Amino acid sequence: MGKIELSVMFGSEGLCRRTMMKFTVVRASSPYNIILGRTARRKASDPREKADKEILKSKKEPVKEEVLVNLAFSEQRITIGTQFSPACRLQLINLLKDNKDVFAWQPSDMVGVPRRIIQHSLNVSLSITLVAQKRRVLGPEKSKAVTKEVEE
């Protein structure tokens, strides 16, 4: 259907790598309702990458925003970066809205995925007695940081 070039950030704000990647948009039937990807090839260090990191560090505004893509699932939003130009941001949001059928919005959307792939089980021996660790008391600042991370 076409190609789109987007800035992609690998990692989190503290330790990250940003690069421009070209994506090919295709209309194809698939038993999976997910976006399939492959690893990106590493390119030589781009001088713009260092500048982007400095801009992100100096910005006080959030580096990501949540966007409503599927009106039928208004509580489920897609997170995108805020570093895009207004035109690129609009193009990305339109791309996501036009292709909302590739996302699994509810468990029933995940048809064709074998249970052995998605089933979670713990490898626990029932003959071992469970031991609960003591609660760790953190200082006020660390406690606030942990609470913030858990909320995110």
The pLDDT confidence band at residue 94, using thresholds 50, 70 and 90, is very high
Say yes or no to pLDDT of 47 above 80.
no
71: confidence class by pLDDT, cuts 50, 70, 90: very high
Residue pair 5/22 in contact (Cβ under 8 Å)? The answer is yes
In this predicted model, what pLDDT tens digit does every residue of 110-124 receive, in sequence order? 777 777 766 777 777
Q: How many residues comprise the chain?
A: 152
CA distance 145 to 58: 20
Higher confidence at residue 87 or residue 136? 87
- Average pLDDT on 119-144 reads 84
Identity at 134, one-letter amino acid code: K
pLDDT band at 55 (very low <50, low <70, confident <90, very high): low
Buried b (16+ CB within 10 A) or exposed e, 85-112: eeeebeebbebbeeebeebeeeeeeeee
